[in-house]
Structure 1
Amino acid sequence: MTQPIEGFSKLTKEQKIDWLTTHYTTDPEAAKALLKRYWNVAEDVQQLHDEFIENTITNYYLPLGIAPNFLINNKLYAIPMAIEESSVVAAASKAAKFWLDKGGFKTQVLGTEKIGQVHFMYHGNKERLTAFFEQVRPKLLSDASAITKNMEKRGGGINKIELRDKTEALDHYYQLHCTFETLDAMGANFINSCLEQFAKTLKAEAQSFPLFSEEEKAIEIVMSILSNYVPDCLVRAEVSCPVDELKGGSSESSRQFAEKMVQAVNIAKVEPHRAVTHNKGIMNGIDAVVLATGNDFRAVEAGIHAYASKDGPYTSLTHAAIENGTFKFWIELPLALGTIGGLTSLHPLVKLAMEILGKPSAQELMQIVAVAGLAQNFAAVRSLVTTGIQEGHMKMHLLNILNQLGATEDEKKTLTHHFKKHSATHNAVVEAFEKLRSTK
């Protein structure tokens, strides 16, 4: 039985690998060789990756692809996407090309407000706490001035600090609900630093507030942390065209195709089981761009899915309608992104991705990311209501299956050509591969 290890973080990378492969792999030498195979040959790049996280043993690569021909607010973009799933980049590219000659994508940032909270417990009179907060609010701002100074010079800073009574949900629970403008930074470190200072000031000033009893002075700070739910950091992206110009790629008329698109979105609005998969497709596009640009896709995912439930049931993030002969397809969602700080200034490929996008501001990046999500959803729903999702997906997945089977380059070429005219189910690919091998 493997025993716990003390001081693992203090070992060198080689020592970590030796210990790991010895205790947790069946062929330590093969495992070591595999891990080292994925090290970057450039030592400075490898050291940079080693220092991103703790206990690094190697790199885990994802493909970085490009989806071209995105016309956004009359500007043409090639969008970098980092993702492992087949057909995502192809679908985004196909949607971009579809809308290219129809006016492209139109976007608008509706808000950029970020949120953070100081969560605390207070045992006492609510009116006295309110009076205390009104007195201490200027002190909260002044004590944080050293933190906010540089952000304020750039036009950002603290927008508002509110006292919120949450005792109906949890006994004695209150919070300072704070909003911020962080400009081109995602702002997590800035917001958390401000919140922790607010907490210190709140606790210290309570000790000298004359209306408080001794019990009321003992405000208990539970935690101070930003929120990844940012419903007022919103962006909208949309496409539209006359219904007559909408071709579904099937025998249906443009009108029938448009109506099925609307019906499909409406189903996702009322059926949570469908909405989750519907929105997952949107996140295929969003996460891929968020990851390629060095942003936090877990935070983005959490905030967006919370937004999908803001009115109660979990529902579709996209909307579709036919109005006066025009088909409209749009999305509104929260996106807290940054273009300075973090990996955006450290990771070489993130820097390149930002350059490819024209070195966008945070607001511009919000719009690009929203478009990627909308395009991905349009492509997915279009496939679902016409040919079905598997036809295109499996053809994109074909090489993965052939690689699993150990196909040679010649076999890949032969079978890729074969499945241009045949359905590429997993069983069909295996059968065709085995038949090809047997004829040699």
Structure 2
Amino acid sequence: MSQGLNAVVIRSHPWVEPLHVVAGLGGGDGVLALLSDGGPGGRWSHVGAEPDRVSVGSVNEAAPFEVLRDPAFGPGTVGLAAYDAGARPATGRREAVWPDLMLARYPALLSFDHHGRSVHVIGQGVTQADAEAAAVRAEDWLGGARRPDLRPAPAETFEAEVSEGGYQDAVADVVSRIAAGELFQANIARAWSGVLKPDADPFDVFLRLQQGRASPFGAYWRIGGRALASNSPELFLAFDAATGRIEARPIKGTRPRAADPVQDAAQAADLLASAKDRAENLMIVDLMRNDLARASLPGSVRVETLFAVESHPTVHHLVSTVTARAARGVTPADLLEATFPPGSITGAPKHQAMKVIAGHEPPRGPWCGSLFLIEADGGLTASVLIRTASFELTDSGWRYRTLAGAGIVADSDPEAECAETDAKISALRDALIAGLA
């Protein structure tokens, strides 16, 4: 085991817009932005830079989050778990398109309380002097805050990897497998990929995503030649280490927003009344109840909210809230190992759904994995990496890949499911290739 950061300094600072602080830092190696829209589903934003410890690589399938039990990756650690690492027990080894697990420790971090309109300046270190120095570095970032410069469309291309017809054929196959009793639901995705212009980088995509499309779990993170830009609305896990409360908020059910308020309200009402979408959501709620029970006190799992409509800039979603009380001694590593990958983007039964997904899709990489933060008290906040693009720096520049999926059930219509993926990818497509409004 390695040495943790046991000395901590926390100072309060007047409110500064977190996006402006990120813009001042730029999108260089090590820059981290976990940005909330400040709504009920996302109170906190976090900004960091200059990680002092980084780990990138494969994991042991029997204990994929074992490294989080090392004190060196305690509070202030950010991690990205790729979907394929969690799916491997069902799919076997496949082509590696992204590291299983990326971790970085941030001794200096800014945490923004949108509800309290204040900033917590956090410094950690082996000694108190180290922690003070880290807090000073973080405080300096506030002084560099500026409004972001929005640049033209950063992507040269946006190409579907599979045709609409090919995707619809995959949906039809899954429907037939469901009818045969092989499974109840599987989340099947479409992928798009391309290259950025020579003068563009992933940070440009992130800044454009933040304009009028902010979400509860927006994110930018760059480690070396890999970067991530996310506009996720979905909470995978929240763990309060002080109280033991665990919360998951799976999303299942989607309708596109409409410009006309009357039509938009009708779309939301149609989603809420849809028997198909309710059934789809309920299956995943049951799956999440089962997953959470593996790390919780017996009898403590509850469904607090069932079938709530949440409205985001481009879509309405059907969201449920499942809670539990952690068993004695449970850590973020235990909780992630009990539940990863997220049930909402696999299906039911989970193991069989992942096998079916692998039959129709190449490896997903970070998409539908999770981006998480180990918090100051040892708690955890983890998002589901939907509405997410991953980037890799090659000799010819930045390449990207992004996906959108739909939950396929017995009465799914292939054309309608394809249209749902179009609605879900619209914000990222606009951020990559559309002109500025």
**Higher normalized helix content (fraction of residues):** 1
Please identify the structure whose Cα radius of gyration is greater: 1
Identify whether the pair has TM-score above 0.5, normalized to the shorter chain: no
For Structure 1 versus Structure 2, the TM-score category normalised by the shorter chain is under 0.3
**Higher normalized strand content (fraction of residues):** 2
What is the TM-score when the length of structure 1 is the normalising length? Answer: 0.24
